[in-house]
Structure 1
Amino acid sequence: MEWFTLEQIDQQTVAISEYGHWEKVRSFLLIGQKEALLIDTGLGIGSIKEVVDRLTDLPVRVVLTHVHWDHIGGVGEFDNCYVHPLDREWLEQGIPVWDTASVRKELMRELSQPLPAEFDISRFELFQGRPTGHLLDGMVIDLGERKVRVIHTPGHSPGHVSFIDDNGYLFPGDCLYSSETPVYSNYPSTSPQDLVMTLEKLGNQPDVRRIFGSHNQLEIQVSSQELLASVNYLRVNDLVRHGTGLHNFKAFSLLF
């Protein structure tokens, strides 16, 4: 069985999902005329580069929504990597709390399909290294006949970013995904205040047609009005702080 599940959003956009692991993490390949963009690199269990190489012959630029272990697993397979400056230290010096030994344990629990034959957990190392460059709020990446804009969306991590392309596809990473699991903003390196401002920012983005999550089900069915209503509810009820617990909304949930 193939470790990755490929889901074709359109002819130039592919979701690369890892449903065999409890995280159900997902990366995205956006293909332009002169370059392709890989949003996140998954767990590092299977070779995401082999998948990408089958899908495109174009040069591939790797961009990270944020530097958490389940999104940077395949970074070492590529010769470039871009990250927001506020997450750069984690990429270079390590993620708070998470080291290679603890990540190895997470990789091996709650598996629902066989691991690739070539994967050896004893050889897995959590990536650390310098990024090629930075992702800044408002930056536009031109892939050739397709432009992708970077949006700084902190909360889940200080340097978390989302991406929106000129098809109106929004890729919000871990600041918004379907409610099978909550969006986590309950540990010290997270900020409920920043996350709520991020949801407001996303709710005010013009021309969003479809939203694709980095965990759980592929497409998130949530409107701008619903996002803004959730922000208002949390603020009015003084819930935007650590320790207020789980907050359920129609399409998503948040844990503070």
Structure 2
Amino acid sequence: MLKDPWFTIEKIDQKTFAISEYGHWEKVHAFLLLGEEKAVLIDTGLGIDHMKRVTDQLTEKPIDVITTHVHADHIGSHGEFERIYVHQDDKDWLVNGIGGLSIAQIRKDIGRDITKPTPVSFDPKTYQPFQGEPAGLLEEGDVIDLGNRALTIYHTPGHSPGHINIFDQTNGYLFTGDLLYDQTPVYAHYPSTSPADLCRSLEKIAEIPSVTKIYGSHNTLGLDPKILMEAKQAVQYLRKNDLIRFGTGTHEFDGFSVHF
């Protein structure tokens, strides 16, 4: 498999690749999905190094970037690609700046706990998240045809207003962004988040049929779909105990946790 000084490239199958940044504490994943006619890149990572260097080596097909949500660790290399898509409810953050997070906090988070050498072009003190106009907007139920591969968009707010999940109908892969992953808490504790929306979104994705694998944007690459039922039961517990609100802290379940 392709070797790179910053990114780790892992083949999920012949037409699906994870592009990961394990040298950063957030352990961020982006995903390149190849179809017969074009490719989709789900998120573009932290922006510490240039992701297009990797995608250029993996495919010659035209690439559409689908944004799970507009936080700095998911839009880092957006400026390297021509066609960027985002949900309407996160468009303002993409164009005008990320809501609820100061640039000082973003720079602190981007520059800490790095365990691999970074390129000389990276300076956390001057780091600036991407801002720009998208090529188009995504909505609930949109189907993106890559040619012999179809992706369905689910609007899953909570972590951000315009957060989305992407379901690969062809393979049963569900790309959950920051709605669901393991090891570290899924969060909805900033003023720009919504605990209630996050829980409704978890219930929503638990009803998607024929999911074969969960691919969150952080930590373990590839989770068993049984975590969807655990998430659904977790929401029932949180609702029953009146915990779906700001300030109730971290709640741990079997395989994942949430922080409100």
What code does the residue aligned with 1:229 have?
A: Q
- SS of 1:58's partner is coil
Q: Specify the SS of the correspondent of 1:70.
A: helix
Which of 233, 236, 242 does residue 237 from structure 2 map onto?
A: 233
| Match of residue 128, structure 1, among 120, 126, 131 | 131
In the aligned structure 2, how far is the partner of 1:249 from the partner of 1:101? 32
1:36 aligns with 2:49: no
The correspondence for 1:168, drawn from 152, 169, 172, is 172
Q: 1:123 to 1:185 in 2, by over 3 A?
A: closer
What SS does structure 1 have at the residue aligned with 2:204?
helix
Structure 1: tracts of 5 or more residues without a match:
none
**Pairing 1:17–2:20 present:** yes
Letter in 1 for 2:181: Y
Q: Matches of 2:31 and 2:157 in 1, distance apart?
A: 20
CA distance in 2, matches of 1:236, 1:198: 17
1:85 matches 2:92: no
Q: Deviations over 1:211-238 (max 9, x none)?
A: 0110011112341322221121111111
Deviation of 1:162 after TM superposition, in Å, equals 0.5
Structure-2 separation of matches of 1:81 and 1:91: 10
Alpha-carbon distance in structure 2 between the residues aligned to 1:195 and 1:99: 22
In the alignment, the residues of structure 1 paired with residue 56 and residue 186 of structure 2 have an alpha-carbon distance, to the nearest angstrom, of: 31
Q: Aligned partners of 2:106 and 2:134: how far apart in 1?
A: 21
Alignment of 1:1-256 (within 5 A): 2-121=5-124, 124-166=127-169, 167-178=171-182, 180-223=183-226, 224-256=228-260
SS in 2 for 1:47: coil
CA distance in 2, matches of 1:162, 1:46: 25
Q: So what's the TM-score if we normalise by structure 1?
A: 0.95
CA RMSD of superposed structures (Å)? 1.4
* Alignment deviations for residues 54-113 of structure 1 (CA, whole Å, 9 cap, x no partner): 000000000100000110110001111100000000011111244555433322210111
Contact 1:221-1:251 at 8 Å conserved across structures? no
1:117-176 CA-partner distances (Å, limit 9, x unpaired): 443446643211111100100000000000000000000000000000121000000000
Superposition deviation, residue 199 in structure 1: 0.5
| 4+ aligned runs moved over 6 Å, structure 1 | none
Identity of aligned residues (%): 54
The one-letter code matched in structure 2 to 1:49 is: K
- Residue deviations 1:23-56, cap 9 Å, x none? 1111000000000000000011111011001000
TM-score normalised over the length of structure 2: 0.94
Query: Do 1:185 and 1:255's aligned partners in 2 also have CA atoms closer than 8 Å?
Result: yes
